[in-house]
Amino acid sequence: MTALIYKIEFRIEGPIMGWKRPAKGHGNQHYDPPEQVSYKYMVGTICKTWMMKRRIPLLRGPVALGVQVFYPHPAKKTRLYFKDSVPDLDNIVKNIKDALKGIAWIDDRQVCHYLPTGKWYLPPETYAEFDYALVTIREASRNDYPSPEFPKPRRNARQIPEPAGVDGSEGEGGSRPDDPGSRGRGVAT
């Protein structure tokens, strides 16, 4: 019998916001900017609504996360595929991870694997007035582990390396000092 793996997929519409550094307030206290707080609340509400409709509980084990962000294609540009300007992809993902803490998972440190993640422009023939993000969250499975084809080791793991000096690498042509046939420091007299 296979275990049921929960999968959460939802769409965030509107301007996609990247994480912003907390600002300093009175008494050196840090706080998130108000627009970031409202954005995190919106993302959390969308996810919570999606989970409640499907009766998906809070994920407690390792989690895989994918965030695919799509932007309207610029009107005066030729065909572009990737969006390489602000906000940075890692800041977008961090903001979404922070927003889903306590809603989709207990803590964002549970995210141990990334599903396809990126920032793209929609094709020019696709009309869209706003950008959106497709968020996929699921329990991490054993299939997420990398393939077993790791690089071959340089030597056999059971092979014991020879002591230094036996192959002449340290002596550089002279005999070893502990050799009974030699006198002094490897120089025959």
In a domain, 152, yes or no: no
Residues 32 and 80 in one domain: yes
Say whether the peptide bond before residue 87 is cis (omega within 30 degrees of 0). yes
pTM of this structure: 0.70
CB 138 within 8 A of CB 64: yes
In a domain, 167, yes or no: yes
In a domain, 74, yes or no: yes
Residues 127 and 183 in one domain: no
Does position 179 have pLDDT exceeding 60, yes or no? no
Instruction: Quickly state the pLDDT bin for 161 (edges 50, 70, 90).
Output: low
Q: How many CA atoms lie within 13 A of 88 on its CB side?
A: 5
Residues 96 and 34 in one domain: yes
Does position 143 have pLDDT exceeding 90, yes or no? no
CB 187 within 8 A of CB 176: no
CA separation for the pair 175, 186 (Å, rounded)? 5
Does position 175 have pLDDT exceeding 60, yes or no? no
Pairing of strands 111-114, 118-121: unpaired
Residues 121 and 171 in one domain: no
Between 44-53, 87-96, 118-127, the lowest mean confidence (pLDDT) is in 118-127
Name the domain count of the chain. 2
Q: For residue 81, give both structure tokens.
A: 């595929």
In a domain, 128, yes or no: yes
Residues 58 and 102 in one domain: yes
Torsion angle of C-alpha atoms 28, 34, 36, 39, degrees rounded to 10: 150
The pLDDT value given to residue 188: 52
The DSSP symbol for 59 reads B
Q: Which domain holds residue 174?
A: 159-189
pLDDT digits (tens, 9 = 90+) for 56-98: 999 999 999 999 999 998 887 777 888 888 889 999 999 999 9
pLDDT digits (tens, 9 = 90+) for 12-47: 998 898 887 776 666 677 677 889 889 999 999 999
CATH of the domain at 37: 3.30.1330.70
